[in-house]
Structure 1
Amino acid sequence: MCKIFEEFGAKVIYADEVAKRIMEEDEKLKRKIKKLFGDEAYIGGKLNRKFISDVIFSDEKKRKVLESIVHPEVIKKIITEFKKISKNENQSFVIVEAALIFESGFDKELDYVVVVDADEELKIKRIMERDNCTREEVLKRMKAQMSQSKKRSLADIVIQNDGDIEALRERVKFLYSLFQKISKPIGEN
């Protein structure tokens, strides 16, 4: 969905990319992660994503500790990016793509939260194809997140994405137009 927003001209910040970047660049954060997971957490200075993923989706305590370390830093970095965009770019709104918006508390920083949902089996299939992973890995990830019904109840807008890409493009086009109409330029109160 966010790639389609970009096609229409929206600025999108991908929280997962921000998290990966700061987990590799922020030395203080790297030390905390190594303390939690050991030296195996990094290979040649790069985050060992497979190792971290395997641990956090089988050890809830470590997952929660990692989230408590990383989420506040990601939120700070995204807010900094908001400010940079407001000074340097002509954007009336910014989209943030994040799987853990509610779990991290970041929803409190946003004007609107859009939840994209689909039939569970379709979601599992799409994630397996996108991430080249097993059904079991997808189910572990889903179990570690807030339930989709809870996310739907907290969302300002819910998009059902059981159709093809053109159906999704039409929904995004509508939202893009709506957000342009209701948004003040970034930085205005």
Structure 2
Amino acid sequence: MTKIIGLTGGIGSGKTTIAGYFAFWGVPVYYADDEAKKILYRPDSCSEVLDALGEAAFTDGLPDRQKIASIVFNDPAKLAKLNSIIHPKVKQHFIDWVAANNDAPVVIKEAAILFESGSYKDCDAVILVTAPREERIRRVMLRDSTTREKVLQRMDNQWDDEKKAAMSNYIIENNTPEKAKENALSVYKIITSNVL
């Protein structure tokens, strides 16, 4: 039976980097956020998003992620509606992906809102990646060429690290690349042994 390990962390924590280490060490990794982006552009999703958010969320007939973000991050009801469209489709896609990787003893599900979406309940264990708040803000501003205000807005829609840490099995502190890789390797050795 394949074990499912959730991998999460707040925006800018470096969870994708950590996921990359696990992938390099041979663990299949499902990038839920990337799949959600692809699913957003499927015709079935497009029509549902149009019904939920209107023309203002589109550019040239396709969902515009920046416009969607500006709509939903200021309106919890619209964010919940968008999540109710996308999350079930991602969940089904993940189930199919696990079935296709059922020869692997362990798989990783990397997702920014693993706890917020409730999908942590489908995991055998959860790894939380943390980093200092100011460092996270700096990383995201640099990565997305965005403003501090917009990063903080996105952070406000995620649980804080303390809340997530209380529900996680392993915590990887991503303060320096060397230490983060060392911590990830320790967790890798545990989850790929039969200790879990």
* Offset at residue 91 of structure 1 (A): 2.0
Aligned in 2, Cα 1:183/1:41: closer, same or farther, shift over 3 Å?
farther
Q: 1:178 aligns with which of 174, 187, 190?
A: 190
Please name the residue that 2:50 is paired with.
Answer: 34
**Structure 2 matches for 1:110-121, cutoff 5 A?**
110-121=123-134
> What is the TM-score when the length of structure 2 is the normalising length?
0.84
TM-superposition CA deviations, 1:118-173 (whole Å, max 9, x none): 111111112222222111111001111112211111111112212x2121111111
Residue type matched to 2:51 in 1? K
Task: Name stretches of at least 5 consecutive residues in structure 2 with no aligned partner.
Answer: 1-17
User: Structure 2 CA distance, aligned partners of 1:167 and 1:109?
Assistant: 29
User: Structure 2 CA distance, aligned partners of 1:179 and 1:133?
Assistant: 36
Structure 1 vs Structure 2: percent identity of aligned residues?
Answer: 33
| Maintained 8 Å contact 2:57/2:71 | no
Please name the residue that 2:3 is paired with.
Answer: none
Please name the residue that 2:79 is paired with.
Answer: 63
Please name the residue that 1:157 is paired with.
Answer: 170
Please name the residue that 1:19 is paired with.
Answer: 36
Aligned in 2, Cα 1:79/1:57: closer, same or farther, shift over 3 Å?
same
Q: 1:101 aligns with which of 102, 105, 114?
A: 114
The number of residue pairs the alignment matches comes to 179
- Name the one with the larger helix percent: 1
User: Structure 1 CA distance, aligned partners of 2:50 and 2:59?
Assistant: 11
* Offset at residue 175 of structure 1 (A): 1.5
Query: Which sits farther off after the overlay, 41-50 or 171-180?
Result: 41-50
Please name the residue that 1:130 is paired with.
Answer: 143
| Maintained 8 Å contact 1:57/1:140 | yes
Q: 2:64 aligns with which of 48, 53, 67?
A: 48
* Offset at residue 44 of structure 1 (A): 4.3
Residue type matched to 1:131 in 2? D
Runs of 4 or more above 2 Å deviation: 39-47
User: Structure 2 CA distance, aligned partners of 1:183 and 1:128?
Assistant: 39
Residue type matched to 1:15 in 2? A
Cα RMSD after superposing both structures: 1.7
Name the SS of the counterpart of 1:74 in structure 2. Answer: helix
- Name the one with the larger strand percent: 2
Aligned in 2, Cα 1:46/1:12: closer, same or farther, shift over 3 Å?
farther
User: Structure 1 CA distance, aligned partners of 2:172 and 2:67?
Assistant: 33
Quick one: higher RCO (CA 8 Å, sep 6+), 1 or 2?
2
Q: 1:141 aligns with which of 143, 146, 154?
A: 154
